[in-house]
Amino acid sequence: MTATAVAADRRTARLAALALIAVTAIWGSTFAISKDLIERLPVADYLGLRFLVAAAVVAAVRPRLLRQLDRATVRTGIGLGLLYAVAQLLQFVGLQHTAPTISAFVVSLYVVFTPLMAAVLLRTPPDRTALLGTVLATVGVAVMSLRGGAIGNGELLTAASAAIYAAHILAMARWSRPGAAFALTFVQLLTMGAVLSLVAVDDGLQVPRAADLPAFLYLTVIAAGVALLVQTWAQGHLPATQASVLMVLEPVWAAVFALLLWSEQLGPRTVLGGLLILSAMLLVVARPSAPAVPEPPPPVHP
Protein backbone atom coordinates (compact mmCIF):
# COMPACT_ATOMS: atom_id res chain seq x y z
CA MET A 1 0.00 0.00 0.00
CA THR A 2 1.39 3.39 -0.97
CA ALA A 3 1.92 6.26 1.47
CA THR A 4 -0.92 8.14 -0.22
CA ALA A 5 -3.29 5.21 0.28
CA VAL A 6 -2.28 4.85 3.93
CA ALA A 7 -2.88 8.56 4.53
CA ALA A 8 -6.30 8.31 2.82
CA ASP A 9 -7.24 5.34 5.02
CA ARG A 10 -6.24 7.27 8.14
CA ARG A 11 -8.32 10.27 7.07
CA THR A 12 -11.29 8.01 6.42
CA ALA A 13 -10.89 6.32 9.81
CA ARG A 14 -10.66 9.74 11.51
CA LEU A 15 -13.80 10.89 9.71
CA ALA A 16 -15.57 7.65 10.68
CA ALA A 17 -14.64 8.17 14.33
CA LEU A 18 -15.98 11.74 14.25
CA ALA A 19 -19.15 10.52 12.53
CA LEU A 20 -19.71 7.86 15.21
CA ILE A 21 -19.15 10.44 17.95
CA ALA A 22 -21.80 12.60 16.25
CA VAL A 23 -24.17 9.61 16.23
CA THR A 24 -23.66 9.04 19.97
CA ALA A 25 -24.42 12.73 20.54
CA ILE A 26 -27.67 12.32 18.58
CA TRP A 27 -28.60 9.24 20.61
CA GLY A 28 -27.71 11.02 23.85
CA SER A 29 -30.01 13.90 22.96
CA THR A 30 -33.01 11.60 22.51
CA PHE A 31 -33.58 10.61 26.14
CA ALA A 32 -34.91 13.94 27.40
CA ILE A 33 -36.77 14.63 24.13
CA SER A 34 -38.41 11.20 24.21
CA LYS A 35 -39.34 11.55 27.88
CA ASP A 36 -41.08 14.83 27.12
CA LEU A 37 -42.89 13.39 24.09
CA ILE A 38 -44.18 10.24 25.82
CA GLU A 39 -45.86 12.39 28.45
CA ARG A 40 -48.43 13.21 25.74
CA LEU A 41 -48.16 10.20 23.42
CA PRO A 42 -48.46 6.56 24.59
CA VAL A 43 -45.18 4.66 24.39
CA ALA A 44 -46.37 1.96 21.97
CA ASP A 45 -47.98 4.54 19.67
CA TYR A 46 -44.79 6.60 19.59
CA LEU A 47 -42.50 3.63 18.96
CA GLY A 48 -44.75 1.98 16.38
CA LEU A 49 -45.07 5.12 14.26
CA ARG A 50 -41.39 5.97 14.75
CA PHE A 51 -40.11 2.66 13.40
CA LEU A 52 -42.57 2.49 10.51
CA VAL A 53 -41.43 5.92 9.34
CA ALA A 54 -37.75 5.01 9.94
CA ALA A 55 -38.19 1.88 7.80
CA ALA A 56 -39.59 4.04 5.00
CA VAL A 57 -36.58 6.41 5.33
CA VAL A 58 -34.07 3.54 5.09
CA ALA A 59 -35.88 2.10 2.04
CA ALA A 60 -35.96 5.52 0.37
CA VAL A 61 -32.23 6.06 0.94
CA ARG A 62 -31.30 2.53 -0.20
CA PRO A 63 -34.13 1.30 -2.46
CA ARG A 64 -32.10 -1.56 -3.90
CA LEU A 65 -32.19 -3.25 -0.47
CA LEU A 66 -35.64 -4.54 -1.43
CA ARG A 67 -33.96 -6.89 -3.94
CA GLN A 68 -31.99 -8.50 -1.08
CA LEU A 69 -35.08 -9.59 0.82
CA ASP A 70 -34.69 -13.37 0.54
CA ARG A 71 -36.39 -15.76 2.93
CA ALA A 72 -33.36 -16.07 5.25
CA THR A 73 -33.03 -12.29 5.62
CA VAL A 74 -36.73 -11.82 6.30
CA ARG A 75 -36.84 -14.65 8.86
CA THR A 76 -33.74 -13.37 10.66
CA GLY A 77 -34.92 -9.76 10.55
CA ILE A 78 -38.30 -10.63 12.04
CA GLY A 79 -36.67 -12.51 14.94
CA LEU A 80 -34.24 -9.68 15.63
CA GLY A 81 -36.99 -7.09 15.29
CA LEU A 82 -39.16 -8.86 17.87
CA LEU A 83 -36.28 -8.84 20.36
CA TYR A 84 -35.59 -5.17 19.75
CA ALA A 85 -39.27 -4.24 19.97
CA VAL A 86 -39.55 -5.76 23.45
CA ALA A 87 -36.35 -4.01 24.55
CA GLN A 88 -37.60 -0.66 23.27
CA LEU A 89 -40.97 -1.03 24.94
CA LEU A 90 -39.35 -1.85 28.30
CA GLN A 91 -36.84 0.99 27.95
CA PHE A 92 -39.39 3.68 27.18
CA VAL A 93 -41.92 2.54 29.75
CA GLY A 94 -39.02 2.64 32.22
CA LEU A 95 -38.12 6.13 31.01
CA GLN A 96 -41.55 7.31 32.14
CA HIS A 97 -40.52 6.50 35.72
CA THR A 98 -36.90 7.67 35.88
CA ALA A 99 -34.72 10.61 34.92
CA PRO A 100 -33.30 10.70 31.36
CA THR A 101 -29.68 10.68 32.58
CA ILE A 102 -30.20 7.64 34.80
CA SER A 103 -32.06 5.88 31.98
CA ALA A 104 -29.17 6.53 29.59
CA PHE A 105 -26.57 5.06 31.92
CA VAL A 106 -28.66 2.06 32.99
CA VAL A 107 -29.63 1.07 29.44
CA SER A 108 -25.93 1.16 28.48
CA LEU A 109 -25.41 -1.84 30.75
CA TYR A 110 -25.87 -3.93 27.59
CA VAL A 111 -22.11 -3.49 27.14
CA VAL A 112 -21.59 -5.39 30.40
CA PHE A 113 -24.41 -7.92 29.89
CA THR A 114 -23.21 -8.93 26.42
CA PRO A 115 -19.99 -10.76 27.43
CA LEU A 116 -21.74 -12.36 30.40
CA MET A 117 -24.57 -13.68 28.22
CA ALA A 118 -22.03 -14.83 25.65
CA ALA A 119 -20.26 -16.77 28.40
CA VAL A 120 -23.51 -18.52 29.34
CA LEU A 121 -24.75 -19.16 25.79
CA LEU A 122 -21.33 -20.08 24.37
CA ARG A 123 -20.29 -21.92 27.56
CA THR A 124 -17.12 -19.85 27.90
CA PRO A 125 -16.32 -18.63 31.45
CA PRO A 126 -16.21 -14.82 31.69
CA ASP A 127 -12.77 -13.35 32.28
CA ARG A 128 -11.91 -11.42 35.43
CA THR A 129 -12.24 -8.10 33.60
CA ALA A 130 -15.86 -8.85 32.66
CA LEU A 131 -16.63 -9.89 36.24
CA LEU A 132 -15.04 -6.72 37.63
CA GLY A 133 -17.04 -4.67 35.13
CA THR A 134 -20.25 -6.36 36.26
CA VAL A 135 -19.53 -5.60 39.91
CA LEU A 136 -18.69 -1.95 39.14
CA ALA A 137 -21.82 -1.53 37.03
CA THR A 138 -24.06 -3.14 39.65
CA VAL A 139 -22.68 -0.85 42.35
CA GLY A 140 -23.10 2.12 40.01
CA VAL A 141 -26.76 1.33 39.35
CA ALA A 142 -27.34 0.89 43.08
CA VAL A 143 -25.67 4.22 43.92
CA MET A 144 -27.73 6.06 41.28
CA SER A 145 -31.04 4.30 41.75
CA LEU A 146 -31.55 2.98 45.29
CA ARG A 147 -34.41 4.78 46.98
CA GLY A 148 -35.05 3.82 50.56
CA GLY A 149 -33.25 0.49 50.13
CA ALA A 150 -34.91 -0.46 46.82
CA ILE A 151 -34.32 0.16 43.12
CA GLY A 152 -37.19 1.94 41.37
CA ASN A 153 -39.41 0.24 38.80
CA GLY A 154 -38.09 2.54 36.08
CA GLU A 155 -34.50 1.38 36.65
CA LEU A 156 -35.56 -2.28 36.81
CA LEU A 157 -37.45 -2.05 33.51
CA THR A 158 -34.51 -0.23 31.90
CA ALA A 159 -32.02 -2.83 33.15
CA ALA A 160 -34.27 -5.57 31.72
CA SER A 161 -34.25 -3.77 28.37
CA ALA A 162 -30.44 -3.63 28.52
CA ALA A 163 -30.33 -7.42 28.95
CA ILE A 164 -32.56 -7.88 25.90
CA TYR A 165 -30.38 -5.47 23.91
CA ALA A 166 -27.43 -7.70 24.85
CA ALA A 167 -29.32 -10.74 23.51
CA HIS A 168 -30.04 -8.78 20.33
CA ILE A 169 -26.33 -7.96 19.92
CA LEU A 170 -25.39 -11.64 20.27
CA ALA A 171 -28.15 -12.69 17.86
CA MET A 172 -26.95 -10.12 15.33
CA ALA A 173 -23.39 -11.43 15.58
CA ARG A 174 -24.68 -15.00 15.21
CA TRP A 175 -27.14 -14.61 12.34
CA SER A 176 -26.39 -11.45 10.35
CA ARG A 177 -24.84 -11.97 6.92
CA PRO A 178 -22.27 -9.77 5.16
CA GLY A 179 -23.79 -7.62 2.44
CA ALA A 180 -27.30 -7.73 3.90
CA ALA A 181 -26.96 -4.97 6.51
CA PHE A 182 -29.43 -2.55 4.92
CA ALA A 183 -31.98 -5.24 4.08
CA LEU A 184 -31.75 -6.70 7.59
CA THR A 185 -32.09 -3.26 9.15
CA PHE A 186 -35.18 -2.53 7.03
CA VAL A 187 -36.89 -5.80 8.06
CA GLN A 188 -36.11 -5.16 11.72
CA LEU A 189 -37.49 -1.63 11.60
CA LEU A 190 -40.59 -2.78 9.74
CA THR A 191 -41.13 -5.62 12.22
CA MET A 192 -40.73 -3.30 15.21
CA GLY A 193 -43.08 -0.75 13.71
CA ALA A 194 -45.73 -3.36 12.87
CA VAL A 195 -45.59 -5.17 16.24
CA LEU A 196 -45.61 -2.02 18.36
CA SER A 197 -48.38 -0.50 16.25
CA LEU A 198 -50.47 -3.63 16.86
CA VAL A 199 -49.91 -3.16 20.60
CA ALA A 200 -50.96 0.47 20.25
CA VAL A 201 -54.17 -0.08 18.28
CA ASP A 202 -55.76 -1.96 21.18
CA ASP A 203 -56.97 1.39 22.51
CA GLY A 204 -56.72 3.37 19.29
CA LEU A 205 -53.52 4.52 17.57
CA GLN A 206 -52.63 8.09 18.49
CA VAL A 207 -50.43 10.28 16.30
CA PRO A 208 -48.25 13.17 17.45
CA ARG A 209 -50.03 16.48 17.67
CA ALA A 210 -48.83 19.30 15.42
CA ALA A 211 -46.70 20.92 18.14
CA ASP A 212 -44.83 17.61 18.68
CA LEU A 213 -44.10 16.89 15.01
CA PRO A 214 -40.64 18.56 14.96
CA ALA A 215 -39.49 16.43 17.93
CA PHE A 216 -41.08 13.29 16.47
CA LEU A 217 -39.45 13.80 13.06
CA TYR A 218 -36.08 14.43 14.68
CA LEU A 219 -36.37 11.23 16.74
CA THR A 220 -37.53 9.26 13.70
CA VAL A 221 -35.62 10.55 10.69
CA ILE A 222 -32.39 11.73 12.34
CA ALA A 223 -32.05 9.58 15.48
CA ALA A 224 -33.45 6.35 14.02
CA GLY A 225 -32.99 6.44 10.22
CA VAL A 226 -30.00 8.68 9.46
CA ALA A 227 -28.07 7.75 12.60
CA LEU A 228 -28.35 4.05 11.74
CA LEU A 229 -27.04 4.63 8.24
CA VAL A 230 -24.12 6.75 9.52
CA GLN A 231 -23.32 4.12 12.14
CA THR A 232 -23.30 1.38 9.49
CA TRP A 233 -20.87 3.34 7.34
CA ALA A 234 -18.61 4.36 10.23
CA GLN A 235 -18.28 0.85 11.63
CA GLY A 236 -17.13 -0.33 8.22
CA HIS A 237 -13.99 1.79 8.69
CA LEU A 238 -13.25 1.29 12.40
CA PRO A 239 -12.11 -1.69 14.49
CA ALA A 240 -14.96 -3.10 16.56
CA THR A 241 -13.26 -2.32 19.90
CA GLN A 242 -12.66 1.32 18.97
CA ALA A 243 -16.25 1.69 17.77
CA SER A 244 -17.55 0.19 21.01
CA VAL A 245 -15.51 2.58 23.14
CA LEU A 246 -16.82 5.53 21.12
CA MET A 247 -20.41 4.30 21.51
CA VAL A 248 -19.99 4.37 25.30
CA LEU A 249 -20.13 8.16 24.93
CA GLU A 250 -23.93 7.96 24.48
CA PRO A 251 -24.85 8.22 28.19
CA VAL A 252 -22.20 10.90 28.69
CA TRP A 253 -23.85 13.01 25.98
CA ALA A 254 -27.24 12.32 27.61
CA ALA A 255 -25.94 13.77 30.88
CA VAL A 256 -24.46 16.80 29.09
CA PHE A 257 -27.70 17.57 27.24
CA ALA A 258 -29.79 17.02 30.37
CA LEU A 259 -27.62 19.46 32.28
CA LEU A 260 -27.24 22.17 29.62
CA LEU A 261 -30.58 22.11 27.82
CA TRP A 262 -33.10 20.75 30.30
CA SER A 263 -31.51 21.89 33.58
CA GLU A 264 -31.69 18.39 35.06
CA GLN A 265 -30.04 18.35 38.47
CA LEU A 266 -27.10 15.94 38.56
CA GLY A 267 -26.57 15.18 42.24
CA PRO A 268 -23.42 13.57 43.64
CA ARG A 269 -25.02 10.12 43.65
CA THR A 270 -25.92 10.40 39.97
CA VAL A 271 -22.40 11.58 39.08
CA LEU A 272 -20.68 8.87 41.16
CA GLY A 273 -22.97 6.10 39.93
CA GLY A 274 -22.57 7.25 36.33
CA LEU A 275 -18.77 7.25 36.65
CA LEU A 276 -18.84 3.69 38.04
CA ILE A 277 -21.07 2.47 35.18
CA LEU A 278 -18.93 4.28 32.61
CA SER A 279 -15.79 2.70 34.11
CA ALA A 280 -17.43 -0.73 33.94
CA MET A 281 -18.35 -0.26 30.28
CA LEU A 282 -14.86 0.95 29.35
CA LEU A 283 -13.33 -2.04 31.15
CA VAL A 284 -15.51 -4.47 29.23
CA VAL A 285 -15.19 -3.00 25.75
CA ALA A 286 -11.45 -2.39 26.09
CA ARG A 287 -10.55 -5.82 27.49
CA PRO A 288 -7.80 -7.42 25.42
CA SER A 289 -9.71 -10.47 24.27
CA ALA A 290 -13.18 -11.91 24.13
CA PRO A 291 -14.56 -15.23 22.98
CA ALA A 292 -15.44 -15.24 19.33
CA VAL A 293 -19.03 -15.75 18.28
CA PRO A 294 -19.38 -18.76 15.99
CA GLU A 295 -20.09 -18.12 12.35
CA PRO A 296 -23.73 -18.57 11.39
CA PRO A 297 -24.68 -21.62 9.35
CA PRO A 298 -25.18 -21.04 5.63
CA PRO A 299 -28.67 -19.81 4.81
CA VAL A 300 -31.14 -22.40 3.61
CA HIS A 301 -32.83 -21.34 0.38
CA PRO A 302 -36.13 -22.82 -0.77
Is a pLDDT exceeding 80 seen at residue 219? yes
Compute the distance between CA of residue 140 and CA of residue 111 in angstroms, rounded to an integer.
14
Q: Mean pLDDT over residues 102-113, rounded?
A: 83
148 compared with 216, residue with greater pLDDT: 216
Give, in degrees to the nearest 5, the angle at Cα 144 between 140 and 148: 120
Q: What is the pTM of this model?
A: 0.78
Q: What percent of the chain has pLDDT over 70?
A: 84
For residue 233, report the phi and psi dihedrals to the nearest 5 degrees. Answer: -65, -45
Of 87-96, 163-172, 213-222, where does mean pLDDT reach its minimum? 163-172
Distances, alpha carbon 281 to alpha carbons 158, 244, 274, in Å? 16, 9, 11
Is a pLDDT exceeding 50 seen at residue 299? no
Q: Place 195 in a pLDDT band, splitting at 50, 70 and 90.
A: very high
Contact of 61 with 225, CB cutoff 8 Å? yes
- The continuous run of DSSP H or E covering 147 comes out as strand 146-147
Q: Place 54 in a pLDDT band, splitting at 50, 70 and 90.
A: very high
For residue 38, report the phi and psi dihedrals to the nearest 5 degrees. Answer: -80, 0
Quick one: pLDDT at residue 293?
41
Distances, alpha carbon 292 to alpha carbons 14, 123, 199, 206, in Å? 27, 12, 37, 44
Quick one: pLDDT at residue 93?
95
Compute the distance between CA of residue 113 and CA of residue 178 in angstroms, rounded to an integer.
25
102-140 burial, b for 16+ CB within 10 Å, e for fewer?
bbbbbbbbbbbbbbbbbbeeeeeebbebbbbbbebbbeb
Of 84-88, 96-100, 298-302, where does mean pLDDT reach its minimum? 298-302
Quick one: pLDDT at residue 92?
94
Quick one: pLDDT at residue 285?
64
